[in-house]
Amino acid sequence: MTAQPPFERLPPGDDLGLGLRSGGRRWMNPDGSINVRRAGLPWFRPYELYHRLITMGGARFLALLLLGYLLANLLFAGVYLAVGMEHFLRPGGSGFADRFLDAFFFSAQTLTTVGYGHISPQSHLASAVAALESLLGLLSFALATGLLYGRFSRPHAQIRFSSHAVVAPYRGGTGFMFRFVNKRSNQLIEVEAAVVLSRLDPQTGARRFHTLALERNRINLFPANWTVVHPIDDASPLAGLDAAALRQINPEFIVLVKAFDDTFSQTIYQRTSYTAEDVVWGASFAPMTRTAADGALELEIGLVDGLILPG
């Protein structure tokens, strides 16, 4: 790049694109989602639909598939009834229920291309609809194949953050700390953390942002939990603040974590944020690891929130 212009240039880390924030509400939610609503998006957004389908719970996904299968068959059953079941070779009786169910199951046999043949189209019209349905069936299952693969191969969140941060003694001084753990058993590599404090400026009433210096911002392997520490020294924007003073500046600690999942060879990002309410003063984190009976080291995931309260 060319020589620096005579304008202030914030260190990259300092701009999280948080120029805006409405009222008192937090800017980022604990789950990492951001409180900015998008308006004017087209109502049909295939990529987001795809994303929702590969991220939704497995049970819900399966239910959707079943529902889709049911609806498609109902739809085509209707069409076949409209065409008239006399266009079909079929075993069933002539009552509506029989006609409907034969139509429905013929549709199912066509959509899945199982095509036993004991029910089969006799007229060209019926054949034409069936030809269309079998095509649709194959495409739907092609789509389902992609979705199922996408569900497993996509990068997926696997970090669990402690629900609270603490301000506690640290190496003679004090530190702002939180921790997180890999809640899955595959390894994360080259884990990086960054913390940005968004605070109210009492004078101007405007928000200011500070990247908090961390005792360490990167680890190569992440076998257990990592407690991220911001040492509160004189250089820290938290210097000299107590619980009350911290609430005063209505802070939001925005946490960004980046890691490489070598199981899927993908870079994953996760975010969270802590507000004054999420900070426990004087507490420290309870150990998450123990030596098991067989001498092996054991990490108890559920203890990530464990705090040892003062006094």
Stretch that binds a copy of itself, among 76-84, 207-215, 243-251, 272-280 (CB under 8 A): 207-215
Q: Which stretch binds a copy of itself (CB under 8 A): 199-207, 244-252, 272-280, 295-303?
A: 295-303
Question: Minimal distance in Å, beta carbon 311 to a copy of itself?
Answer: 27
Map the footprint of a copy of itself across residues 148-177, applying CB under 8 A: 148-150, 152-156, 158, 171, 173
**Closer residue to a copy of itself (CB): 200 or 268:** 268
In whole angstroms, the minimum distance from the beta carbon of 225 to a copy of itself comes to 9
Total residues at interface with a copy of itself (CB under 8 A): 138
Which residues, 270 to 289, sit near a copy of itself by CB under 8 A? 271, 289
User: Looking at 74-82, 123-131, 199-207, 245-253, which segment touches a copy of itself (CB under 8 A)?
Assistant: 123-131
Which residues make Cβ contacts (< 8 Å) with residue 238, sequence separation at least 6?
167, 176, 197, 212, 230, 232, 246
For 230, left (φ over 0), alpha (ψ -120 to 50), or beta?
A: beta
For residue 288, which phi and psi values (nearest 5 degrees)?
-105, -10
Q: State how far the Cα of 226 lies from the Cα of 259, in Å rounded to an integer.
A: 13
Position 187 contacts a copy of itself (CB under 8 A): yes
Contact with a copy of itself (CB under 8 A) among 108, 238, 241, 246: 108
Smallest distance from a copy of itself to CB 62, Å: 8
Angle, helix 96-111 to helix 124-153, in steps of 10 degrees: 50
89 binds a copy of itself (CB under 8 A): yes
- DSSP, collapsed to helix, strand or coil, labels residue 31 as coil
Q: Segment near a copy of itself (CB under 8 A), from 75-83, 199-207, 228-236, 275-283?
A: 228-236
Q: Please count the CA atoms within 13 angstroms of the CA of 78 that sit on its side-chain side.
A: 5
- If you ran DSSP here, which 8-state letter would residue 17 be given? S
CB within 8 Å of 190: residues ≥ 6 apart: 218, 219, 220, 259, 260
- Min dist CB 141 to a copy of itself, Å, is 5
Q: Identify which of 92, 96, 93, 69 has the alpha carbon closest to the alpha carbon of residue 81.
A: 96
Taking the CA of residue 239 as centre, how many other CA atoms within 13 Å lie in the half-sphere pointing to its CB? 7
Using alpha carbons only, give the angle 189, 193, 197 rounded to the nearest 5 degrees.
Answer: 170
205 binds a copy of itself (CB under 8 A): no
For residue 40, the surrounding DSSP H or E stretch is none
15 near a copy of itself, judged by CB under 8 A = yes
Nearer of residues 17 and 240 to a copy of itself, judged by Cβ: 17
Please state the closest distance from residue 164 (CB atom) to a copy of itself, in A. Answer: 19
Q: Which is nearer to a copy of itself, 244 or 267 (CB)?
A: 267
* Residues in 34-63 at the binding interface with a copy of itself, rule: CB under 8 A: 34-41, 45-48, 50-51, 58
Q: Does 5 bind a copy of itself (CB under 8 A)?
A: yes
Helix (H, G, I), strand (E, B) or coil at 254: strand
One-letter amino acid identity for 26?
R
Widest CA span of the chain, in angstroms? 89
Taking the complex as a whole, the smallest distance from the CB of residue 86 to a copy of itself amounts, in Å, to 13
